[in-house]
Every structure is written in structure tokens, then in C-alpha cells.
Structure 1
């Protein structure tokens, strides 16, 4: 005869707390009969989950009741006595990643394509510039050439150029894809790349060509910054405070330098912000 065990589903979110406080509070809830679990979120925070709405209300009351005692020695004593939650969680160190690297994710595929195109440019730069980059020499007389509205995002002209873009793309794109899904990430990359490239094309001189993932990166900065400020957004999705302001300053500074696709950066930032505002208004309810 087979035996079955009913497993509790911890899918009702209570609050978000720093690592130590989350684990202590979770142990405290379990000690008073409220089944709770702490699950890792973003930016060093953990999310406390319970199994039902009734326990959620009780947990929030306990949180408010102990707010003056600052997570208090009562919570810590329970954690020390149980020794379960803390020992079952390992703090991330500098050699570990806060996510599982998925080689077939949208972020990974874009990164791989960028590297392949960069290596190809080292072998034959003229081929890459003519077929993948974008300049005023392209008049789009052939509909087939409309692929060039996206491919400039894959073209980079120096090791520092591609390194900066891929690092920022990883830092911003991975949380977006993990939180909102691959379809959302794909639509953001393709949409922001195409539209920001169109705007840059309109303001590019006859002799210049442009390429790079930075238009998409700035779009993801705008998207992430706006989403993270919205109360309706998933509580696990956060970005570095002030990132939006710093990025806007860098864009303004870029207008005083030569060889910077400033229009692409600015349009990408604005477009990403507008998409985020749309999502917050109609999707995060």
C-alpha cells in the first residue's frame, strides 16, 4: 500500500526582510504554530511565505507587535534554540551566483551572439560593418535588409565596448528574465533595439556607422528602475537605488564626447521607462 503525504504550499507572501532577520522571524513564526518559510529574493533580501491568508494576517500582526523591539532578542533566541533555519540556508559568497545560469535563456543567447560577432569582426571587420552594423549608406530599398534594425545591437568595436555592455546586460537582463519570463525579455530586447536603432539612424551622419548593445542596456535600466519603484511590482525585483539618475547623467555627459551613440542611449532609456509604466498600469494589478 502506498502512503501519501500532504505537502504544504508556501505561496502566500508576508514580508521581505534582510537575511538574518528573515530567518529569525521565520523560526519565530514556526515556534508559535505558524508554518513559514524564508525564500531568497534579490539584493540580499529574503521573502517570508506562509500557507494561507489567515496565517499571513497573524504573521503581520506579530511583525507589527515586535517592531519596537527591533527584531528582538525573542526572535534570535528561537533561532538559536531551533538551529534549523539558519543551518539549512547558506549565505552566498563571492564564488557563487544568485541564479542558475541557463545557457538557452534569451540573455545567454544574446551574449553568445555578441561574442561570436565580435570574434568575426576581428577576422573581417569590413564584412561585419557592412552586413550587421547600421549607417546612412543603408537605404532599405530591399525589405530583406530590415534585419539591420536589430543586428547593430550585436556589433561591438572594442573589447571594452563589448565587456561593459555584456556585464550590464547580465546584471539587468537576468533578473528581468527570471522574474517576468523569456518572452518578456525577448520582446524587450528586440523592441528596444529596433526602435533605438531607428532613432540613432535618423541622426547619424553620412560617414558614420554605429553598433552596440548599449541602447538595449539603457532600455533595461529604464525598465528596471521604473518597475522597482512601483508598489505593484513583484517584491523580489529590485535594482540599485539611483541607477536611473546616474545613467541619465552619463547620457548627458556623452553628448560632449565624440563617437557615442547618444540618441540610441537616450531613446532606449525613455522607451524602457515607458514600457515599464505601461506594464505597471495594465499588468501588475
Structure 2
């Protein structure tokens, strides 16, 4: 996705967004918050194949936002919406970037297969093992989950953080982050606690560290993680180490992923200066 411009208020952004919908332009809107001024603005991203056309529309809108085309767009979109279902899971799913979306579906399929009686076979096939004959086992524990709550919690963070990375940088960057952080988090957990673990949480902690690092180290207003959410994850990880929580967590995987993500925010983004 490529940015076509930035608008200072939500009302104007919605007007242009409605017009883009009518033109069948694939787009995404991201909020940029300015804590110092206590204000926010909105950046509109479009698919690369729509960039030239959408950029032209943006410039026309900025020059004349009261043009009848733009004023009528919201009415027309409203009429179309009456024939469609309200925003729900399917609509949310359709707005997720492709790699994030289809990998999520794969995680769900693996979990459902486990629930339907194939847990032993799936765990045997995917559990951690530092074997040169089956190197995929260094990463594969990240794609299976042990309970529905475990899956839902991890998918929520994967959608939020993975989607940001994929849309802002690329699917290739998300794959790189997944492979490196899965290997780092799984290896640390296995060495210290043993191979009986599973889940995407180590990778999610890496994505959290990566996004937070982009905001702090590179001052990115597009790819970042608010301090309150980052703080929540740190507190959650610390609580896991204290063993006060009534659930078992792969604490060392969380720590390994977090450190890997912070490091990758310095290494990967440095080579893509200006991308965020």
C-alpha cells in the first residue's frame, strides 16, 4: 500500500474515502496521533495499481473538497450500504493484508484439526526439535495452538501488528520477522524449559517490539505501537515469569521474541530508510 496524502480531520477523510469506494479503489486509512498537540490526522493508503488515479483524486479533493462529486459520494455509498450487511467479522477479514489474512486462516485450520481429534498427530508433526534433517521444526511450533482462548488472543495481536507491518513495509518483511523471531523465541524456550510448547505469542512479542521500535527509534507515525499497549505486554510478560497467573505461558519465548523484534527494528528498517 502506498500513501496518497494526509488529511487533518475525520470528516474530510470520510468524504474522500466514500468517493474512493465508488471508484472501486482499494484503500486503507491510518490514524496519526500527535500527543504534543493532542491532535490527530489521517493518512490514506492505496494499492500500488491505483496510486496514480487515486493521487489525482486526492489533489482534486484538496483543491475543492466541496465539489459536488465528493459531497454526493457519501449519499451514494449510504444507499449501497443498505443492501449490504453491517460491518462484521467478514468485513474485517477482507480488510486484512493478504499474508496476514491467509496465514490466520491456516492457524485456524490447524487448530480445528487438533480439536477434531488430530492433536497427537499435529503435535508430533510440528513440535520443536533442533534437527538438521527437519529444520522446519525450528519455526513450526508457532503455527499451532493449545486452546481456543490461546488462538483468539494470538490472532488478535497477529492481525493488529502483522497487518501493520505487511501494509507499511511488505509481506517479505513480515515473513522475515516471522522466521527470525519464531526461531529465536522457540530456541530460547526449548533450551530453558523444554520442547513442550506452542503458539504465536513469541512472534507477536517480536512484532510488538518491532512496531514499538519503529515508533521510538525511527519516529514513525505510520508503523508504531502506543506506549500503553507496549506497557501492557511488558507487564503481562513479567506476570508470566512470576507464575502468579493461573495459566502456563511460554515466558522465555515471549522474552526472546521481544528482544528479536527490537533488534530487527534497528536492522531491517535501517535498510528501508524513509519507508516508515
TM-score of the two chains, using structure 2 as the length reference: 0.69
Segments of 5+ residues of structure 1 without an aligned counterpart are 1-9, 27-38, 60-74
Pairwise CA distance, 1:160: 0.6
Q: What is residue 135 of structure 2 aligned with on the other side?
A: 146
Larger radius of gyration: 1
TM-score of the two chains, using structure 1 as the length reference: 0.67
Pairwise CA distance, 1:88: 3.4
State the alpha-carbon separation in 1 of the partners of residues 231 and 96 from structure 2: 29
Task: Give the 3 Å change call, closer, same or farther, for CA 115–97 of structure 1 in structure 2.
Answer: closer
Q: What is residue 66 of structure 1 aligned with on the other side?
A: none
Segments of 5+ residues of structure 2 without an aligned counterpart are 17-26, 33-40, 45-53
Given the alignment of the two structures, is residue 115 of structure 1 paired with residue 108 of structure 2, yes or no?
A: yes
Root-mean-square deviation over aligned CA pairs? 3.5
Q: For 1:261, which of 238, 250, 253 is the aligned residue?
A: 250
Secondary structure at 1:255 match in 2: helix
Q: What is residue 43 of structure 1 aligned with on the other side?
A: 31
Given the alignment of the two structures, is residue 168 of structure 1 paired with residue 157 of structure 2, yes or no?
A: yes
Pairwise CA distance, 1:238: 4.3
Task: Give the 3 Å change call, closer, same or farther, for CA 279–85 of structure 1 in structure 2.
Answer: farther
Task: Give the 3 Å change call, closer, same or farther, for CA 188–87 of structure 1 in structure 2.
Answer: farther
CA contact (8 A) 2:178 2:203 kept: yes
* Matched residue count: 228
State the alpha-carbon separation in 1 of the partners of residues 118 and 182 from structure 2: 24
Q: For 2:232, which of 246, 252, 259 is the aligned residue?
A: 246
Pairwise CA distance, 1:83: 5.4
CA contact (8 A) 1:40 1:46 kept: no
Task: Give the 3 Å change call, closer, same or farther, for CA 106–11 of structure 1 in structure 2.
Answer: closer
Q: What is residue 123 of structure 2 aligned with on the other side?
A: 129
